Amino acid sequence: MSKPTLTARFLTTEAGAPVADNQNSATAGVGGPLVLQDQHLLEKLARFNRERIPERVVHARGSGAYGYFEVTDDVTAFTRADFLNTVGKRTETFIRFSTVADNLGGPDAARDPRGFALKFYTAEGNYDLVGNNTPVFFIKDPIKFPDFIHSQKRDPFTGRQEPDNVWDFWAHAPEATHQITWLMGDRGIPASYRHMNGYGSHTYQWTNAEGEAFFVKYHFKTNQGIRSLSSEQGAELAGKDPNSHQTDLLQSIERGVYPSWTLYVQVMPAAEAADYRFNPFDLTKVWPHADYPLQRVGRLVLDRNPDNVFAEVEQSAFSPNNFVPGIGPSPDKMLQGRLFAYADAHRYRLGVNHTQLPVNAPKAVSGGRAANYGRDGLMATNGYDRHAKNYEPNSYGGPVQTNEALSAPLAVSGHTGTHEAPAHTKDDDFFQAGELYRLMSEDEKKRLVDNIAGGLSQVGRDDVIEKNLAHFHAADPDYGKRVEARVHELRED
């Protein structure tokens, strides 16, 4: 067998052949036209044309880092997940922070929810926790999601985000009032990714070794303290440095100032869900801490920057259907929709074999290759035993099922069809938004009203404005009165 003769200091083609000249294209004579046979030129141009994959439809602009999660408290009474079973155990992680609505070139300091997507490389496979920096969201049924995102992103005619579209959708989605109050409040523009909380937002299921089921909500509390920007500060920073949050995260880790978060969970015994005063699976609702106090689990620390933003941050893929034993889904409708949609988005953007990319590959199996029978498709790599079969069951010692469910089964009843979510005693679209408003100081309320009115006053249709004002009145009479007065004031100017 021949040995390699080229060292890393020599430039080669994709096929490994040496490149003689990387500064001058081949021509037909001095000063003549280029020749088709210049394989190196054609390869460079063709590769350059294909260097970018489609950006994410949502969460397009993001930053990422590696780190670890360390268990600090015993939670084995609630889950049998291996990476949570011992105090002091550490698990490698990768996180991607992001804005939601804007394109890849948008500014970091925008008034927008932030994605908080976390991958745990556990000994039982990758566990992906896909959340935001808010505990709630705008809608509670995934069938509304494409329409919601269309209303928030650039208009197909004007090519810009339109207040008419944004507020018209919200006028027809009263359940968004709670999240609007979060978004337009003081935490709507984090000062950096380090200075914001993260939430699983959805309700998930934990199952312990005895098979007992619990519903949980995740809360990552920043240890750097909450810091946010006003609308004026955000606009100024976005103009000065569109990459502000990316720069801050990169430089803090490079300096050895490692950001960290403490993970807490709220735990609800599964039997209590049916009679709880709010629908516990409604993504537009929170569980008040007085009902289900926070219980500490561990801490997340980020201590290493990616070597290549494209390869590791932009090609990172998070899917909430990546569970591990002891953790599973709940009847949360939005979560149920995302169990399909996220993985399908990655299959479109990155290909069916995206889980073989290093940032996505599980560390629980040899060589980062899943032990399954998938073989072909775009960007399939080598590494299987040439005698390995690609079907199951087989008689040749291939991997087999465990017959052990990852989580407890969810009880179902009734008839199939389209149904509204079951109503609980305190279920409406406005109560919790009003509760949040009433928690705010007088200065916080003023800034909230100014932020809402600044956008709503730009809407061209009076009926859309009136529908939105009705939502704020329903949340709290003072809330509605103040927003209405400020909108009218701005429209008269």
DSSP for 125-163, please give it.
EEEEEEEESSS--S-S-GGGHHHHHHHHS--TTTSS--H
> Which of 97-101, 116-120, 372-376, 436-440 is predicted least confidently?
372-376
pTM given for the model: 0.92
Strand, helix or coil at 448?
helix
Please say if 354 is a catalytic residue: no
Q: Which of 126, 132, 279, 451 is catalytic?
A: 132
Residue-level pLDDT at 431:
96
3: pLDDT strictly greater than 70: no
6: pLDDT strictly greater than 60: no
416: pLDDT strictly greater than 80: no
> How is residue 208 written in tokens?
């312990």
Residue-level pLDDT at 283:
97
pLDDT band at 394 (very low <50, low <70, confident <90, very high): confident
Q: What is the pLDDT of residues 123-170, one digit of tens each?
A: 999 999 999 999 999 999 999 999 999 999 999 999 999 999 999 999
Q: Which of 22, 24, 49, 59 is catalytic?
A: 59
Contact present, 106 and 99 (Cβ < 8 Å): yes
- Residue 270 DSSP class: G
Residue-level pLDDT at 21:
92
Angle at 285 between CA 146 and CA 446, to 5 degrees: 95
Cα separation, 351 vs 370, in Å, equals: 16
Q: What is the pLDDT of residues 36-90, one digit of tens each?
A: 999 999 988 888 898 888 999 999 999 999 999 999 999 999 999 999 999 999 9
Residue pointed to by tokens 């199996």 = 365
H or E segment at 390?
none
Average pLDDT over residues 352-378: 83
Asked whether the bond before 288 is cis by omega within 30 degrees of 0, the reply is no
Please say if 178 is a catalytic residue: no
Give the C-alpha distances (Å, rounded to integers) separating 456 from 147, 150, 488: 19, 18, 10
Residue-level pLDDT at 388:
82
Beta carbons within 8 Å of 175's beta carbon, 6+ residues apart:
138, 139, 140, 284, 429
Task: Return the C-alpha torsion angle 463, 468, 471, 473, nearest 10.
Answer: -80
Average pLDDT over residues 423-440: 94
Residue-level pLDDT at 219:
98
Q: What is the pLDDT of residues 226-279, one digit of tens each?
A: 999 999 999 999 999 999 999 999 999 999 999 999 999 999 999 999 999 999
H or E segment at 44?
helix 39-49
386: pLDDT strictly greater than 80: no
Q: What is the pLDDT of residues 191-219, one digit of tens each?
A: 999 999 999 999 999 999 999 999 999 99
H or E segment at 260?
strand 260-269
